[in-house]
Amino acid sequence: MGRYAQGSSVTIDKSKGEIERTLIRFGADQYMAGQSQLMAFIMFVYRGRTIRISFDIPRRDDFSTTETGRRRSSQKVQQDAFEAALREQWRALLLMVKGPSSWAVSRA
């Protein structure tokens, strides 16, 4: 089974924007997203509670070889694989935010 959003060409900025629009639609406010070399996160307030969701950023060194153990041919190919993994992670975060069980509480 493949990974969710594998091969996604959607930019990280577009995913962040979609996450923000989804959160606002469900009634969240004070949205923030950030990323460092070690982790990425979103944070927002929903019904008076601050919620933070984060994930670890893969190390660039992890992409020096393919999943089958072959050495990647160049730094550019390694960088492309790293960026693809980041796009997949942001798309997966969007899916989690959109998940029906996340917003099961009524918005009364």
The number of CA neighbours under 13 Å toward the Cβ of 56 is: 4
Residue 108 lies in a domain: no
As a whole number, mean pLDDT of residues 35-54 equals: 92
For 56-91, write each residue's pLDDT tens digit: 998 888 898 888 888 988 999 999 999 999 999 999
How far is CA 65 from its chain centroid? 22
Model confidence at 108, pLDDT cuts 50, 70, 90, reads very low
- The answer to whether residues 91 and 8 touch, using CB atoms and an 8 Å cutoff, is yes
Distance CA 59, CA 99 (A): 28
Token readout for 9 is 């060409």
Residue 3 lies in a domain: no
For 17-43, write each residue's pLDDT tens digit: 999 999 999 899 899 999 888 999 999
Distance CA 103, CA 98 (A): 8
Residue 105 lies in a domain: no
Share of the chain above pLDDT 90, in %: 49
Which residues span the domain enclosing 93? 12-98
| pTM across the whole model | 0.78
Instruction: Report the number of distinct structural domains present in the chain.
Output: 1
